[in-house]
Amino acid sequence: MKFTRRYAGLALASAAALALAMPASAQQTTQALTSESVIESIKQEGVIKIGISLFRPWSMRDLNGELVGFELDVGRQLAEDMGVEVEFVPTSWDGIIPALVSGKFDVIISGMSITPQRNLTVAFSDPYAFSGMTILANTAMTEGFTLEDYNSPDVVFSARRGATPAAVIASMFPEAQLLLFDEDGASTQEVLNGNAHATMASEPTPTEEVGRYGDTLSVPFNRAFMASGEAFAFRKGDPDAENFFNNWIGIKTRTGWLQERNDYWFRGSEWSDMVAE
């Protein structure tokens, strides 16, 4: 009897202690979430590290070897609005998501389109650009092709490994063969050499290539396919970063700043003197 009473008291006391501790621990969790947010560490370090993979005209090296492009404008503006320095970390496309996850940089701003597969590994913000893909075809090899004709085992596509065009081709033309390369120049070259019928890329690259190799290449369909939207990618479990990036993109979309920068890099050609043509 004595024992039972003692244990009952003990149980009551621990329940009371737990009840008192509960609200405190919830508060601690929110505090921990905030302090662990990448936004906090950016403010603390005074620098935002942005992972990019060079991809004309999203980001590229100009004649002076400096980085220029749409992403660079976005990244610099983002850093300016946060009041921190900006540091771009050029990374190979294959390893850009592992590098983000292992903490090499705070966010990927590199024309990364939102796909469910990627979203399982990283978190995405709202889209800040919508660039659909166009087909860039070898004119002689695809004479008289309709869109359905591309979906045939005799047709060969080329694309950059792991990039959005490769995924778009695989889903739009599941029957066609797909050759994968490490970067875009090589996949275009295969189309030029007649080893592949076509490749896909976001404008203005296809139009530029047609300008250079008008005899061989053409853009057969004047429309964009699968504009899935490109977004910032960051590590999962970071509500503060998501909130901040979404609102930043929201503001920049509403003021028209993003559209204006997008038109400059993707529609205009004022910048073509900056990069070797």
Residues that bind another protein in the complex, under the rule CB under 8 A? 45, 47, 53-56, 60-65, 87, 89-92, 94-95, 98-99, 102-104, 182-186, 188-189, 192-194, 212-213, 216, 275-277
DSSP letters, 102-119, are TTS-SEE-S-PBP-HHHH
Give the position of tokens 């603390």. 44
Q: Shortest distance, CB of residue 156 to another protein, whole angstroms? A: 16
Q: Shortest distance, CB of residue 62 to another protein, whole angstroms? A: 8
Q: Which is nearer to another protein, 54 or 249 (CB)?
A: 54
Q: What is the DSSP letter of 249?
A: H
* Inter-axis angle of helices 2-36 and 239-254, nearest 10: 30
Q: Which is nearer to another protein, 209 or 242 (CB)?
A: 209
Which strand ranges, in their side-by-side order, compose the sheet holding 133-138?
A: 177-181, 156-160, 198-202, 133-138, 217-218
Q: Which is nearer to another protein, 98 or 256 (CB)?
A: 98
Q: Shortest distance, CB of residue 19 to another protein, whole angstroms? A: 39
Q: Which is nearer to another protein, 257 or 266 (CB)?
A: 266
Q: Shortest distance, CB of residue 83 to another protein, whole angstroms? A: 16
Q: Which is nearer to another protein, 30 or 193 (CB)?
A: 193
Q: Shortest distance, CB of residue 185 to another protein, whole angstroms? A: 4
Joined tokens for residue 239: 């509500």
Distance, in Å, from the CA atom of 226 to the CA atom of 260, rounded to the nearest integer, reads 22
Joined tokens for residue 222: 């004047």
